[in-house]
Amino acid sequence: MPNKLEFSILPDHNSVRIDKWLAENVPDITRTTAQRLCDENLVLVCGKVVNKNYKLRTGDVLDVTIPDPHELNVVPQDIPLEVVYEDRDLLVVNKSKGMVVHPAAGNYDGTMVNALLYRCKGQLSGINGVIRPGIVHRIDKNTSGLLIVAKNDKSHTALAAQINAHTFTRVYEAMVYGNVKQDKGTVDAPIGRHPTFRKKMCVIEKNSRSAITHYEVIARYNGFTHIRCRLETGRTHQIRVHMAYIGHPVAGDDVYGPKKVIKSLEGQCLHAKVIGFIHPTTGEYMEFESELPLYFKSFLNTLKQ
């Protein structure tokens, strides 16, 4: 069944183009998709069809119909992956910055899943369906670093249980704005969907989930701090939201950071450096660590000069 949504426009969004507003506030659609919905008369303003360049007015009521998604044909693709460990049960992949983990609207191929299907010849867990085979947990497109992939449902279930029990080790490094005064600390603040900007997450009490991030300072520079973060929970955008919440957003973050973005970073300066887990078959604790990628090192070198 098509998904029908209704929104009321607040004064802050007066005169914003409707396609831009939709792309920023409706989860999982791009501006191109928003324009297509307008072209197909699936967006009504106060009950009337409008053009994609319509400028919103305070008090406008939007009725948006999201049609049923087309079944994606996820095909294997010969895309290079940096695999740091592999056995018959799982892989540990060092994901590059800019690579999308699984297909979604606007990213139907060229993803890590396409590459995994080619490498593993279809031998991946099926718990998350055809779009996310093998994917136990995700990291954002512009976050680099280590990610675990399950080759069968038994491994997937065991690894997911460790994540839910908070026994799965995930350590990140990040460059954040400002001088983080405490050498170490914990952010314990629930995270949920932003009530206005539906593509964003935020610290909020209502309709949220517990989120805990432990951080410590590695080094301080002029205007920035190099930190290490250990996730106790794994909510969407958790480190990015929590660091922005305490006044130190991640450098390069164009969603939660300042409007003047460091464009040379091409996204947030955030790297999943360490991953650790109990192997689902052997029962052995395994831990892997990756080097900081070139973009991160280059930014560090710039700050050291």
CATH code of residue 10: 3.10.290.10
Q: Looking at the structure, tell me whether residues 301 and 181 fall in a common domain.
A: yes
CA-based torsion, 59, 60, 63, 66: positive or negative: negative
DSSP-assigned letter for residue 8: E
Mean pLDDT, rounded, for 52-63? 94
Domain span at 104: 69-165
pLDDT of residue 25: 87
Which CATH number goes with the domain that contains 158? 3.30.2350.10
pLDDT of residue 70: 55
Query: Residue 159 in 3-state DSSP?
Result: helix
- Of 141, 165, 189, the domain-final residue: 165
Which residues does residue 195 pair with via DSSP β-bridges, in sequence order? none
Query: Token digits for 138?
Result: 């995700």
**pLDDT tens digits for range 196-244:** 887 899 999 988 999 999 999 999 999 999 999 999 999 999 999 999 9
C-alpha count within 13 angstroms, C-beta hemisphere, residue 223: 7
7 and 62 in contact (C-beta within 8 Å)?
yes
Q: Looking at the structure, tell me whether residues 33 and 91 fall in a common domain.
A: no
Residues carrying an active site annotation: 140
Residue 12 pLDDT > 70, yes or no? yes
Higher pLDDT, 199 or 91: 91
Crossing angle of helices 31-39 and 18-25, in 10° steps, is 120
pLDDT of residue 2: 67
Which residues does residue 38 pair with via DSSP β-bridges, in sequence order? none
- Beta carbons within 8 Å of 27's beta carbon, 6+ residues apart: 193, 198, 199
Q: Looking at the structure, tell me whether residues 60 and 77 fall in a common domain.
A: no
Give me the number of domains the chain comprises: 3
- pTM listed for this prediction: 0.79
CA 153 from chain centre, in angstroms, equals 24
Q: Looking at the structure, tell me whether residues 34 and 50 fall in a common domain.
A: yes
Q: Looking at the structure, tell me whether residues 109 and 93 fall in a common domain.
A: yes
DSSP-assigned letter for residue 68: P
pLDDT of residue 190: 97
